Structure 1
Amino acid sequence: MSLPFPILLLLIFSTSSSFFITLAHCKIPRLGISPKMLTNEPDAPTQKLNDPNLKMFYFNQNLDHFTFTPKSYMTFQQRYAIDSKHWAGAKDNAPILAFLGEESSLDSDLSAIGFLRDNGPRLKALLVYIEHRYYGKTMPFGSAEEALKNASTLGYLNAAQALADYAAILLHVKEKYSTKHSPIIVIGGSYGGMLAAWFRLKYPHIALGALASSAPLLYFEDSRPKFGYYYIVTKVIKGTSERCYNMIRKSWKEIDRVAAKPNGLLILSKQFKTCAPLNGSFDIKDFLSTIYAEAVQYNRGPSYSVTNVCNAIDNNPPNRKKGLLDRIFAGAVALLGNQSCYDTNMFAHPTNNNKAWRWQTCSEIVMPVGYDKQDTMFPTTPFNMTSYIEGCKADYGVTPRPHWITTYFGIQDVKLILRKFGSNIIFSNGLADPYSVGGVLEDISDSVVAIKSNNGSHCQDIVMKRKGDPEWLVMQRDKEIKIIESWIATYQKDLRALNISI
């Protein structure tokens, strides 16, 4: 589980002119488990999921878990789903696999996430999927219009509240199924992967372990990586085709050159078949950078491939000279398909999910992603915290807290912190995922392990299996579930040793 900018999510957009100034100084791509460019309805399921074993429920959730003012006792309906088909039951203390939702609707997660369904039968587990507050149908204050109205209502949207929501629902599920000692394993991807790791650290009495897939929890101001998101985008495209990389690198100046001509923006609009007139060269450059980042972050499957984009850019058609911008446009078409026109603001539409995520990135999820000098495919535009803060203040009247995540979750010295009080966490990353630069990539201890793959993309290990998945991916998934099995076996052994029964 965000933008006019690429990718997991961070979807950052706004209708205010002040924030568009901010965007010129920082490029924060979205997180999110699944690509959005192949989905025309960002708030809708990516596919219809017709599973008779999956039951939907609503939990009467507290608005505020951390204060005792009258307003904090307000409640809202939080959506979750359960699949009990393969569960061995309370008598065997059979495990619970719980997916912690991210900045997406539950419908999208159910259609995209395969890890629980794939491994539920093997573990004889109860499967639980929980929707994140303020996303999908889980809206406080009675409606999305009210919940997303302004900072006074959005102020209850943050990671700490979300974790407390999950804790309340998981304890409710255990009570509902009369299973006091069934171990819970939490799973999450992208922002949800961060939530899964944080949940294990904050609620170890509820979760036995966590699988945190593609979780860039080190991508914050106090722990930012040496190299950034767009460094990996550049590296993957250059490794795919150096010719493609060089043409993309040259295209930015060519776009500015054409834009400077009389009627230059009209020429570019016709060149790229835009649905609306361009306001400036920034519009088309932002659109293209989003395409490249999206292609790299979700570089999986036959239709969603960096190779396809670069092949289209590299292609030499017979009997016709192809100009540089013709080639660049062909790369966009390779990813988006043939359309009558192309919406350069396709990620800036004010969907409910985008509005909620925009707030989160303007409050606590502040990742300093920019075009740094080592990101050689892009013009250098480093992240600018000052303009970022100014844009958020203009939109909401509140100042972002860029250090709050590291203060609350304590991740500045991740090796030391996790070695001291962390256990039973898997951090999985594909090194071809741009967000892997902010991931935990080294084993911390025997029970806090990093599983990484050289070619893996964003959250590839937990999404639905595909026919023809590479062997390394099959092996990675198998390794993850074997580790989880070992946690459960040790837990069951401890129950017997302590003579603890149902």
Structure 2
Amino acid sequence: MFFLLFLFHFSHAKLFRQGLLPPPMTNVPVPQESWFNQTLDHFKPGDTRTWNQRYWINWEHFRPGGPVLLMIGGEGEANPVWLNAGSWLDYAKKNDAAMMLLEHRYYGKSHPTPDLSVKNLNWLSSKQALADLSRFVVEMQAAHNLTGKWIALGGSYPGSLAAWSRLKYPHLIAGAVSTSGPLRAKTNFYEYLEVVQNALETTKQGCSEVVKDALKRVKYLTAHRVGWSLLTKKFNLCTPFDGTVLTDVINLFESLIGNFEGIVQYNKDNREFEGAKWMNITVETLCNIMTNPTEGTSLERLKIVNDLSLLMAEEKCLDHTYKTQLEELQGTLWNQTAAVGGRQWTYQTCTEFGWYQSSESPLNPFGDIIPARFFEYMCSDIFGPRFDISLLERGVEDTNTYYGGLDIEVTNVVFVHGSIDPWHAMGITKTNKSGMEAIFIEGTAHCANMYPGSKDDPEQLKNARRRIGQLISQWVK
């Protein structure tokens, strides 16, 4: 799966900001990969084409008759490190459960088609992915004589899939843990930056205002040629800034505000992957920089944050150009950069979800610098004129109709969110519906409860992990 570092300084980072669950670190050997003969199109019985889907199994804690915990892969390569790490390992031990991880179609090495051309992306959807899960469950039950109940787990987009799998296939999935899962598709997801602003301000008073002031200064510099030269040098741009190219201007703002978004979304989540020397970079780190008057003007402080982000991403310069962005996302070969997940996830946002993190909030957290239309027009630029705003809006409406959005009617599902995670704005954080439970953890970020526990974790986070374990035990027994 993607690492947070990958997100830094991609001008289209917000298209990826959906989730990307970085794996925890473990020295325990991981199970070998296996391959499953999967159906290409589950909704056309006459289409008999198949492909090989990758999965992993950990039988270490399983006893005959025991349940299966199924972790759902998402919009990046599935990582088998999860088979020996994370909070679900404790749930497996407690319930004598097998642990399985199924990679999402079109991501990682699970390639249903020869390439990623537009015509071959036709079978990339959450509906097809859920049908993959159902067929996988049925075939694994038969192949391994599994009689216990199945629990689906996932974080971020896979968290949505976990809830939806229980909704659509309740005879196969006995319960689901939906962590940080957005359930409401929405084209203009301006709430994302509202949560980011609140996280900065609650971390250190005045932090968000300084960031906003710095962005105002950047906007002023984009209006004249002297400012263009200054921006090129100050933010170490790979190519000279040209303020007449509106898409490049928006991309620059995307990157500068993205430096804060990424840290907020994954703040203190205990993931500890290789390169963990950057784990001490938190919201507090950035706010300490932005509120330190000895570092110069707000613009100078924004430069320091940008330099830090480049260092973390091991990038020599910041490529802010829309042209580079399009070239990467237009790549159709599996061995190209976009095939890591960028092109595929962009396609899903353009056809199913939207979730474009604009700055067009009525609360105006960081100024009117990133319009939703920028992302909407990008769909046409990447995939062709057929992928217009009308197609996007129909896709979003269909998604909410098909799954129910925030009005989903489902039982044996727990929805888990952190208050600092911007994605909680599209999820269920409280509910009175029978059979559903919501856990909202103050002060935690994206998918925090899925990572190994620490003695320094907030008490609410510790309680959340315990409660999830109790629910799983109830569902399987």
Common fold by TM > 0.5: yes
**1:471 aligns to what?**
459
Structure 1 389/267 Cα, relative in aligned 2: closer, same or farther at 3 Å?
Answer: closer
**2:91 aligns to what?**
119
**1:163 aligns to what?**
130
Moved more, 460-469 or 54-63: 460-469
Structure 1 206/156 Cα, relative in aligned 2: closer, same or farther at 3 Å?
Answer: same
Q: Return the match for 2:186 from 201, 220, 224.
A: 220
The AA in structure 2 aligned to 1:186 is: A
**2:476 aligns to what?**
488
TM-score (normalizing by structure 2): 0.83
**Pair 1:395-2:362 in alignment:** no
Q: Secondary structure at the match of 1:77?
A: strand
Query: Displacement of 1:467 after TM fit?
Result: 5.7
**Pair 1:128-2:100 in alignment:** yes
| Residue pair 1:167, 1:206 contacting (<8 A) in 2 also | yes
**1:187 aligns to what?**
153
**Pair 1:94-2:66 in alignment:** yes
Structure 1 242/86 Cα, relative in aligned 2: closer, same or farther at 3 Å?
Answer: same
Q: Secondary structure at the match of 1:106?
A: coil
**2:411 aligns to what?**
423
| Residue pair 1:219, 1:368 contacting (<8 A) in 2 also | no
Q: Distance in 1 between matches of 2:237 and 2:306?
A: 12
Q: Distance in 2 between matches of 1:332 and 1:112?
A: 35
Q: Return the match for 2:50 from 64, 68, 75.
A: 75
**2:402 aligns to what?**
408
| Residue pair 1:184, 1:209 contacting (<8 A) in 2 also | yes
| Residue pair 2:177, 2:415 contacting (<8 A) in 1 also | yes
Q: Secondary structure at the match of 2:53?
A: strand
Q: Return the match for 2:225 from 248, 253, 262.
A: 262
Q: Return the match for 2:39 from 34, 58, 62.
A: 62
**Pair 1:299-2:276 in alignment:** no
| Residue pair 2:214, 2:302 contacting (<8 A) in 1 also | yes
Number of aligned residue pairs: give it: 440
| Residue pair 1:230, 1:375 contacting (<8 A) in 2 also | no
| Residue pair 1:55, 1:83 contacting (<8 A) in 2 also | no
Structure 1 50/351 Cα, relative in aligned 2: closer, same or farther at 3 Å?
Answer: farther
Q: Distance in 1 between matches of 2:11 and 2:128?
A: 21
**2:435 aligns to what?**
447
TM-score (normalizing by structure 1): 0.79
The AA in structure 2 aligned to 1:292 is: F
Q: Secondary structure at the match of 2:304?
A: helix
**Pair 1:289-2:266 in alignment:** no
| Residue pair 2:53, 2:105 contacting (<8 A) in 1 also | yes
Query: Displacement of 1:171 after TM fit?
Result: 1.6
Q: Distance in 2 between matches of 1:102 and 1:445?
A: 27
Structure 1 47/483 Cα, relative in aligned 2: closer, same or farther at 3 Å?
Answer: closer
Q: Return the match for 1:438 from 422, 426, 437.
A: 426
Query: Displacement of 1:366 after TM fit?
Result: 2.0
| Structure 2 portions without partners, runs of 5+ | 244-248, 270-278, 329-336
Structure 1 49/60 Cα, relative in aligned 2: closer, same or farther at 3 Å?
Answer: farther
CA deviation digits over 1:375-425, x for unaligned, max 9? 43311368546x65544234324333221101222336x1xx52xxx2100
CA deviation digits over 1:273-308, x for unaligned, max 9? 233433444343211111111111111155241110
Structure 1 112/465 Cα, relative in aligned 2: closer, same or farther at 3 Å?
Answer: farther
| Residue pair 2:62, 2:98 contacting (<8 A) in 1 also | yes
Query: Displacement of 1:106 after TM fit?
Result: 1.1
Q: Return the match for 1:176 from 119, 143, 148.
A: 143
**2:299 aligns to what?**
325
Q: Distance in 1 between matches of 2:219 and 2:369?
A: 16
Trace 1:98-109 onto structure 2 (pairs within 5 A).
98-107=70-79
**2:448 aligns to what?**
460
**2:275 aligns to what?**
none
The AA in structure 1 aligned to 2:456 is: G
Q: Distance in 1 between matches of 2:225 and 2:430?
A: 54
Query: Displacement of 1:463 after TM fit?
Result: 2.6
Structure 1 403/219 Cα, relative in aligned 2: closer, same or farther at 3 Å?
Answer: closer
**2:177 aligns to what?**
211
